Amino acid sequence: MAEVATAAPAAPASGPSDSSATPTAGAPTSGSATPTAAPATGSPASTAAPAAGSSTAGSPTAKSASPAPGSPAAPAPAPSDSSAEAEGPEADPEDSSRSERKLDGPGDAAAVEAPAEAPPPARPASEKPPRVDGTYVGGTLGPGISFARVNDFPTPNPFVGGGATLRVGEVIYPWLSIGVEISGNLAYRSADPRQRLLQGAFLVDFGFYPGAKKQIPLSLRAGFGAGGGAIREARRTDRSGFGGAVFTAAVRYEFFPGAAKRRPTRGGGFSIGPELGWIGFMPAAKGRPMSHTVYLGLYVGFYFGS
């Protein structure tokens, strides 16, 4: 045995052929670098991959996944809070019935949403409607006395005659009215030589009612405008006149006969009452022509109410 081992020739060197480079399909030599196909039993890979029989038969996970036929069924999982919140609270039957009512158009929406307008409050029975109210029209007619002065001939005596005014306006506040006035006056001097005065004016008329809260139809009136006049003398063809700024002032008290019966719930009505006033045609300078007239007349008018 010893001699055979000594006489064994050395292994021949690998040649350049391709077969020496490729390992054989069988078990490789101990010096080959290629690892074996099946790892050893004690290697970590063998422990990481257990046998197929042990994973199915002896694993506790497999037993718990398929319960025994005699064991009770597992309870169903409770729904999560997120699903309950997603569904939301149960709709109220009244809300659902309201949601079912659909509006056909904007007109229906306005009819449903807009509340009905309340009627205006009725005036108490004890409160009387105002009589000096709304648009008015009226006039004053009555006698007057005038004092005039002109440049061409003397006028030592006053002129006596009559005058008339026409007024149209509006009561804008219970204590104030604004309108326009047309005034005219015709008067004579009876002494010799006889003279005649004719004058007229157009004015803006203001009325103030100090007793408006108590519905007292007393008015203080004032106005301004422009106008003129002339005086003629008997047996003379020429005339002498005056003109310029005109001012007026008056006080008036009105009665409303039958208004409470004919217009129990509406303001205004027919009015009549005395008026005492003054109309002045101012001189342009000292000593220049002028005229002043004082009159006492009867005012007749009508207030249409508001």
Question: pLDDT, tens digit, for every residue of 235-283?
Answer: 888 888 999 999 999 999 999 999 889 998 899 999 999 999 999 999 9
pTM: 0.58
What local confidence, expressed as pLDDT, does residue 104 receive? 52
Can you read off the two tokens belonging to residue 26? 């069988």
Cα separation, 144 vs 248, whole angstroms: 14
Name the burial class of residue 93, with classes exposed (0-12), middle (13-18) and buried (19+) by CB atoms within 10 angstroms of its CB. exposed
Region 124-144: what's the mean pLDDT? 88
pLDDT in tens, 9-52: 444 444 444 433 343 334 444 444 344 434 444 444 333 333 33
pLDDT in tens, 86-117: 444 554 554 444 544 554 555 554 454 555 66
What local confidence, expressed as pLDDT, does residue 115 receive? 55
Tell whether the torsion through CA atoms of 219, 223, 227 and 229 is positive or negative: positive
Chain mean pLDDT for the chain: 74
Tell me the percentage of the chain whose pLDDT exceeds 70: 59
Region 67-85: what's the mean pLDDT? 48
DSSP-derived secondary structure for 28-62:
PPTT--SPPSS--TTSHHHHHS--HHHHHHS-HHH
Region 180-208: what's the mean pLDDT? 95
pLDDT at position 146 over 50: yes
List Cα–Cα distances, 231 to 216, 236, 248, 283, 291, in angstroms.
41, 11, 21, 15, 10
Cα separation, 293 vs 16, whole angstroms: 158
What local confidence, expressed as pLDDT, does residue 26 receive? 40
Confidence class of residue 120 from pLDDT cuts 50, 70 and 90?
low
What local confidence, expressed as pLDDT, does residue 239 receive? 86
Give me the residues paired with residue 129 across strands.
Answer: none
